[in-house]
Structure 1
Amino acid sequence: MTRAWLRRALPKTLLARNIALLIALVMLSQVCSLGVLLHYVQRPRVERAAAVFATYVTTLDSLLQATPLAARTELTARLDARAQLPAEATVEPPLSLMGAYRTFQRNVFLDSLRAHLPVDMPALWQSEGGQRLWIRMHAPADAPRAPYWIALPIPEDAKGAGLDAAILLSLGLGALAALTGYVIQRHLNQPLQQLTRAARRVSAGETPAPLPTDGPGEIAAVSSAFNQMTHALQQAEATRALMLAGISHDIRTPLTKLRLSMAMAMPDGSDSSFVVAAESYLDQIETILQQFMDYAGSGEREAAEPGDLNALIERLAGDFAGLGHEFALSLASLPTVAFRPISMMRLLMNLMQNAIVYGGGTGLAVRSWATGEAVHVAVGDRGKGLSAEELEQLKAPFQRGRNARAHSGGTGLGLAIVERIARLHGGSLQFHAREGGGLEVWVVLPLTPGPAMHPVPPGKPRPQSPARSA
């Protein structure tokens, strides 16, 4: 429990933690230095001043007792002698944190002074109306019943002169040390922030510029390792792209030859049911191959450009209408959003195709709306609903819902491709139960483009929709 409380109490950033630790260490060192100053330097100094002052007081007391009455009366008048102690001399000074060291010195001086004076000579420190010491002198021999109080100035050593400047200087040095630590930590944090930004760009599918390696040795080692990792990822990406292109070519070429061979081998007038079935299987193989290629690519290398998302939805809905599938559109006014045209078209096509195939082909609808931070596109159908656990599992590759088991030719990559493209745009994929029955799949795209979104110059033509050939 203590460890959990400590984790909550600590600042979240390394900069804040180091500054807090530095301030704590500086304050601890200042407190220790002040303790050493008061106990081993100032205290002996005050005690010596009290001893000297006690000698002065006892000498003055002896002198007053030996002075004749007439001369003593004039002398006590000059010393402001009083028969009764003034009221302001009995007022204790208020306690304050800023004046704690003054109270400490005052108590040390009084304790030492009282230790050196006779017991019947009390001493009081007046703080109100000016600082001075009141000491009750012994009654003279010719007036044994008339002791009196006299006021004497306080020695400078007992006032702690110069200690204020020392404390302020210590606090100033502590603040300077904390400021220096802050500047040093900010300097160390700069390459870490560069590393964070570069790592985010790598996770978004980009290729960041190499990080500088001319900083401190530890930071330079991390930056160098990151640059090596980025270079290795670029090589792996190039190898993957080459392998995918080779697989696509090497598989599609014999499939095409197989189609031609089957068409040429069948004599005229023979039963063509075998050819139709075989061509259906070949179409399924090509569909599965294309889905694998789409999932492996997912549009990382495609540049984003600002465009009208509603226009893309209307064009796809028109293409599906030409194939006999009507989507009810409810499109609100949307701000301009930066997106990858081909990838976004693939995302919407997969969702609309899934609604047709797995949603029973009824209640097809697409709606869009915008909030203050994001644009939403929802594709709905009236198919049998799935549980929340099943819906989340559909985001993973090769996962198919129980309503898809009766359909052949799929690989379970459709929603995985949609999820990947949505994340590539900084968005997310959500499943919601549709009012009146069925399912709605929401695509949420942020209005503020992420680091992976780089608009291309205007005027670049958008690709044509492949929906009619799907």
Structure 2
Amino acid sequence: MTRSLLQRALPRTLLARNIALLIVLVMLSQVCVLGVLLHYVQRPRVERAAAVFATYVSTLDNLLAATPLNARSQLTARLDARAQVPAEAFETPPRTFMRGYRLYQRSMFLDSLRAHLPADMPALWQAVDGQRLWIRMHAPADAPNAPYWIALPVPEDAQGSGLDAAILLSLGLGALAALTGYLIQRHLNQPLQELTRAARRVSAGEMPAPLPTDGPTEIAAVSGAFNQMTQALQQAEASRALMLAGISHDIRTPLTKLRLSMAMAMPDGSDSSFVVAAESYLDQIETILQQFMDYAGSGEREQREPGDLNALIERLAGDFAGLGHEFELSLASLPAVPYRPISMMRLLMNLMQNAIVYGGTGLAVRSWATPDSVIVAVGDRGKGLSAQELEQLKAPFQRGRNARSHSGGTGLGLAIVERIARLHGGGLQFHAREGGGLEVWVVLPLNGSMR
């Protein structure tokens, strides 16, 4: 529970965490420095000043006691001696929240002064109209019933004013340390940000330039490992492309020869039902092969371009209309969306083809825009599937129960659609269509972020 609260309290970014840690450490160090300064530097100074001040007070008290009566009256008048202490004088100095260290020093001075003075000579602190100490002197021998109070200036060491500059300097050094730490952390974060951008470019199918490895040892090691990974990915991509090209060539070549051999082997006028069936099977093999090729490729290397999705939808709908499949279009005005043209055409074509094969009726395509995305929905009136079945269709080689009567499929159609949608930073959603049937939504972000 405590760990969970601590995780929620910590900032999310490494930069913010390091800066917060640095500020806390600087504050703790400044508090420790202030404590050491007050206890081991200021305290001896204040106690020494209290001892000297007590000696001065005792000397003044003895001087007043030894002064003749007529001269003592003039002396006490010049010292502003009073029979009663002013109401503004207190046993403890007034508290100040912003400068609590001054209260600490003044209280320490008063305690040390009282320890050096006799118990019958109290000392009071006046903070109004200047800082002063009121000391009650002993009554002279010729006037035993007339004790009087004398105000004396407070020594500088007891007021704590000398600490202002030290504390301000300490705070300034702390702020400078925090700023320096921030700049250092920003400098360390820059390679990490470059690494993040490069990783996103790799996931989007691009190959970024090698990252610099001339920074700190740890960052350089990460950058070097990333460069090795991108090189391995480039080699794997080249090997995959070569393998796919070889498979396509090596399989399609014998298929073509087989078609030619069957056509040449059948005599004229013979029953061609076998040839038609065989060619149908060969077409299925080529379709399956093409689906595997499409799923393996999915257009990672294709460059994205801003374009009009509605125009692409209308063109595909026109092509299907020429084949006898009419789609009802409901297209709203859409902003330009960056997409890969061939991959997006394959995505929409697969969805529309699935609607024709598995829905058959109520074919429709609609599009609209939200503040942060563009949505294209392809619908039909076919038999609906459960939510679990719909999610399973996104995985490769999964076919719905309404597809079991259709041969020639591999279960890769929606997997290809899902992969292309994610390649564009979007996703695939299934929704029940009002009035029956199914709608497949393709959600594309407007900010153009792609994987």
Both structures adopt the same fold (TM-score exceeding 0.5) = yes
Match of 1:172 in 2: 172
Q: Does 1:101 align with 2:116?
A: no
Which residues of 2 match residues 367-378 of structure 1 at below 5 A? 367-378=366-377
Distance 1:316 1:425 in 2: 20
Distance 1:389 1:24 in 2: 51
Distance 1:406 1:96 in 2: 88
The amino acid that maps onto 1:228 is Q
User: 1:53-86 CA distances to partner (integer Å, 9 max, x unpaired)?
Assistant: 1111122112212211111111111111111111
Distance 2:92 2:379 in 1: 82
User: 1:128-164 CA distances to partner (integer Å, 9 max, x unpaired)?
Assistant: 1110000111122222221111101111221224211
1:49–1:157 contact (8 Å) kept in structure 2: yes
Secondary structure at 2:183 match in 1: helix
The amino acid that maps onto 2:441 is W
Distance 1:126 1:38 in 2: 23
The amino acid that maps onto 1:288 is I
Farther off after superposition, 240-249 or 81-90: 81-90
Secondary structure at 1:59 match in 2: helix
Match of 2:424 in 1: 425
The amino acid that maps onto 1:216 is P
1:89–1:125 contact (8 Å) kept in structure 2: yes
Q: Does 1:379 align with 2:378?
A: yes
Which residues of 2 match residues 179-194 of structure 1 at below 5 A? 179-194=179-194
CA drift of 1:441 comes to 0.6
User: 1:167-211 CA distances to partner (integer Å, 9 max, x unpaired)?
Assistant: 111111111111111111111111110000000000111010111
Distance 1:236 1:259 in 2: 34
> For residues 94 and 326 of structure 1, do their structure 2 counterparts lie closer, same or farther at Cα, with a shift above 3 Å needed?
farther
CA drift of 1:106 comes to 0.4
> For residues 111 and 300 of structure 1, do their structure 2 counterparts lie closer, same or farther at Cα, with a shift above 3 Å needed?
same
Match of 2:117 in 1: 117
Match of 1:28 in 2: 28
2:94–2:127 contact (8 Å) kept in structure 1: no
TM-score between both structures, scaled by the size of structure 2: 0.97
CA drift of 1:266 comes to 2.1
Q: Does 1:216 align with 2:213?
A: no
The amino acid that maps onto 2:341 is P
Structure 1: gaps spanning 5 or more residues = 453-470
2:91–2:125 contact (8 Å) kept in structure 1: no
Match of 2:270 in 1: 270
1:310–1:334 contact (8 Å) kept in structure 2: yes
Distance 2:237 2:112 in 1: 84
Distance 2:21 2:66 in 1: 65
The amino acid that maps onto 1:146 is A
Farther off after superposition, 127-136 or 93-102: 93-102
Match of 2:238 in 1: 238
Distance 1:69 1:94 in 2: 37
CA drift of 1:405 comes to 1.7
Match of 1:329 in 2: 329
Which residues of 2 match residues 35-434 of structure 1 at below 5 A? 35-90=35-90, 94-359=94-359, 361-434=360-433
Match of 1:465 in 2: none
1:298–1:343 contact (8 Å) kept in structure 2: yes
How many equivalent pairs are there? 451
CA drift of 1:304 comes to 2.0
> For residues 428 and 305 of structure 1, do their structure 2 counterparts lie closer, same or farther at Cα, with a shift above 3 Å needed?
same
Distance 1:242 1:95 in 2: 83
CA drift of 1:21 comes to 1.2
> For residues 363 and 100 of structure 1, do their structure 2 counterparts lie closer, same or farther at Cα, with a shift above 3 Å needed?
same
User: 1:96-145 CA distances to partner (integer Å, 9 max, x unpaired)?
Assistant: 33211100000000001111111111101111111000011112222222
User: 1:288-320 CA distances to partner (integer Å, 9 max, x unpaired)?
Assistant: 000000011111122222222111111111111
1:15–1:189 contact (8 Å) kept in structure 2: yes
Which residues of 2 match residues 450-461 of structure 1 at below 5 A? 450=449
Secondary structure at 1:87 match in 2: coil
2:307–2:336 contact (8 Å) kept in structure 1: yes
Secondary structure at 1:84 match in 2: coil
Distance 2:96 2:222 in 1: 51
The amino acid that maps onto 2:407 is S
Distance 1:279 1:155 in 2: 112
1:91–1:127 contact (8 Å) kept in structure 2: no
Secondary structure at 1:134 match in 2: strand
Match of 1:447 in 2: 446
The amino acid that maps onto 1:410 is G
CA drift of 1:439 comes to 0.9
The amino acid that maps onto 1:53 is F
Distance 1:139 1:94 in 2: 29
Distance 2:93 2:233 in 1: 74
Distance 1:68 1:96 in 2: 44
1:88–1:129 contact (8 Å) kept in structure 2: no
Match of 2:3 in 1: 3
Distance 1:122 1:386 in 2: 95
Distance 1:26 1:50 in 2: 34
Match of 1:467 in 2: none
1:106–1:158 contact (8 Å) kept in structure 2: yes
Structure 2: gaps spanning 5 or more residues = none
